[in-house]
Amino acid sequence: MPKETPAYHRILLKLSGEALQGPREHGIDADTCMAYAMQIREVWAMDVQIALVVGGGNIFRGGTESKKFGLDRSVADYMGMLATVLNGLALQNALEQLGVPTRVMTAIEIKQVSEPYIVRRAMRHLEKGRVVIFVGGTGNPFFTTDTAAALRASEIKAEIILKATKVDGVYTADPMKDPTAKKFAKLKFIDVLNKDLKVMDATAISMCMDNSLPIRVFDLTRKGNIKKAVLGENIGTIVS
């Protein structure tokens, strides 16, 4: 059987916090976390350099919670950053149980559990074959983990952002609510901004556009889709 050739040498995989909760209403589902770790190991075994940015919405979502509880937005966002650390550590544990070397790097300093984010060190870890998990967002309030993904991908010179979601691409409307919604196979960055499509927030899209960094949006719940995306198969929606 011929060896499969990845389309990309270095990728950034963006996972939402909600992806880790699986069937639970909130928190981290261990089986779901392990299932994603197995998909990531499959790609890592192909000598692809993998960085992850993980959200925290399964535990605490800053923007929403600040309105709900009357929290100062900055405080709520920092709480959300801490939630991403919990998710990053869960992913690290699952990956290392599978024999995949990892490093968790955070934008907010927590020396006991993770390394501070330094771009040169992150790139060195990638070159040594370690999966690098970026947590803590950008380290600043008022920015989403989508923007953190665009920023980190640009800094480490990733070739693509793979945005894993619960739907198989970008649609004209939410396909869960509107059965007439139509899927886009390809989009340009400017179309995403003009049509206000919910791919990533506008700051993240603008950053990707400025750095010519493509985004592939695909369904994470289908087993093997991360590998398919890395092989360059035409799944989901490509934004470029």
pLDDT tens per residue across all 240 residues of the chain: 567 899 999 999 999 999 999 999 999 999 999 999 999 999 999 999 999 999 999 999 877 777 777 889 999 999 999 999 999 999 999 999 999 999 999 999 999 999 999 999 999 999 999 999 999 999 999 999 999 999 999 999 999 999 998 889 999 988 888 889 899 999 999 999 999 998 899 999 999 999 999 999 999 999 999 999 999 999 999 999
Query: Both tokens of residue 237?
Result: 């929606």
- The pTM of the full predicted model, rounded to 2 decimals, is 0.94
Return d(Cα 232, Cα 235) in angstroms, integer. Answer: 8
The Cα–Cα gap between 140 and 54 comes to 15
State residue 166 phi and psi, 5-degree precision: -95, -5
For each of the domains in the chain, give its residue range(s) and CATH number, in order of start: 10-239 (3.40.1160.10)
Contact 53, 14 (CB under 8 A): yes
Cβ–Cβ < 8 Å for 170, 184: yes
Please, are residues 135 and 54 in contact by the beta-carbon 8 Å criterion? yes
Strand 237-239 relative to strand 170-171, pairing: unpaired
CB 49 within 8 A of CB 35: no
Pairwise CA distance, residues 7 & 228, whole Å: 10
Q: How many CB atoms lie within 10 A of CB 64?
A: 12
Surface-to-core class of residue 193, CB atoms within 10 Å of its CB (0-12 exposed, 13-18 middle, 19+ buried): middle
